[in-house]
Amino acid sequence: MTEPSHWLPLTEENVRKAYDIIKPYIHHTPVLTSKTLNRIASSPQTTTDGQLPAAAQPKINLFFKCENYQRIGAFKVRGAFHAVLRLVQEMGEEDVRKRGLVTHSSGNHAQALALVAQTLNIPAYIVMPTISIPSKIAGTKSYGARVIFSGSTSQEREAIVERVIQETSAILVPPYEHPDVILGQGTAGLELAEQVSELVAKRPELSVHTPHTAARSGGGGGGGGAVLDAVITPLGGGGLTSGTATFFSESPATRVFGAEPSFEGGDDCRRGLAQGKRIETVKTLTIADGLRTPVGVIPWSVISDPRKVNGVYAVTEAQIKDAMRLVLERMKVVIEPSAAVPLAVVLYNEEFRRVVEKEGGEEGWNIGVVFSGGNTTVDVIGKLFADN
């Protein structure tokens, strides 16, 4: 990757510059809305016995950034293209091709780097856990990358990566642990802010705010007006969350939140924030397979800054499945479990919902939800819901 002396500062301006670089290579994914999910999100949630224990009742309108329609089916191509194109700018195309690229990933970054490598005619070595979803392995191989298998933990993956580097001199393109990757991921937030502003300008009824109150509340993400009160993203290694927070960091009217699975300690970032230090290892087999890694050092430097990220919340496996089911059945949109985690927080995490109720007041919040990817299969979905 680019050397530290060439690292770009994590700023909104550099997210915009990253967007200019990668725009020819990525899809401009849509933003969808749902009256049904707005209604559900704005209703008190019941307990398993049907009781209503002083549940929060925030007013929420949702805007879904559909990165499940992105190339390779996930946002990861944004960071991968930016990182490699910056690498080519610094080292030269010939040297990068001679050495090749290497990374480790459970699936989405794997496919993203494989696509980038194929597009730019660069060899790629991809280290993937043996438990990766078969369709993600097949997708990675389909782009011509060499797949090398490893254990499921980040330490096991990284050990294989080091061996590949020693044997081939390939250049590591990490899934999240680099400013170039983070800036690329932040472009999803840039698009989201602009798209929501355009939607609300054409259809003011989509917003919880009247035109008068929206204008009074100030800027909201790259000059788009305070249309989005909050954005919530899935959080694994932290590249998407920190990139989104970087874009909105100069727009205090838009809050940024992260969403994690709680299963087997998958909520390492949430726990780390509570303890005041980053948790370095995670070993979880949550159904949100894209979020099984610990938050990285560089993403942590952004996420742990309360001026940039307002909080991280976690949900259970059952809540993730419930949110995924709603998206499949009510919106007719296919997403993978990791992508359902932010919506699950909005719908079912009472702590988060009380924040929205308190800070949003009677008017409420417009919340952007990033559907990070859609790389799943009919077989996987069938198994997930077989017992429901």
What is the model's pLDDT at position 280? 94
Question: Of 34, 42, 65, 76, which residue is the catalytic one?
Answer: 76
Split at pLDDT 50, 70, 90, the class of 29 is very high
What confidence tier does 195 reach under pLDDT thresholds 50, 70, 90? very high
- Name the catalytic one among 34, 42, 105, 106: 106
Is 150 among the residues known to form the active site?
no
Mean pLDDT of 86-106: 93
Strand 124-129: give its sheet, edge to edge. 146-150, 124-129, 101-104, 171-172
Grade residue 54 by pLDDT with cuts at 50, 70 and 90.
low
pLDDT given at position 287? 95
pLDDT-based confidence at residue 174 (cuts at 50, 70, 90) = very high
Active site residue 76: yes
Average pLDDT of span 189-209 = 96
- The residue behind tokens 């050495």 is 99
> Could you report the per-residue pLDDT of 277-307, keeping only the tens digit for each?
999 999 899 999 999 989 999 999 999 999 9
Helix (H, G, I), strand (E, B) or coil at 186: coil
Q: Is the pLDDT of residue 221 over 60?
A: no
In tens, the pLDDT along 110-130 reads 999 999 999 999 999 999 989
Q: What is the pLDDT of residue 156?
A: 87
DSSP character for 331?
Answer: I
Domains and CATH numbers, the chain: 12-74+181-384 (3.40.50.1100), 76-177 (3.40.50.1100)
Which of 3-7, 238-242, 374-378 is least confident? 3-7
∠ CA 160-161-164, rounded to 5°: 90
pTM (2 d.p.):
0.92
Alpha-carbon gap, residue 244 to 126, rounded angstroms: 26
| Strand ranges inside 17-138, DSSP E | 31-32, 60-66, 101-104, 124-129
pLDDT at 53 (0 to 100):
55
Q: What's the pLDDT tens digit per position in 61-92?
A: 999 999 999 999 999 999 999 999 999 999 99
Least confident segment among 101-115, 206-220, 222-236, 350-364: 206-220
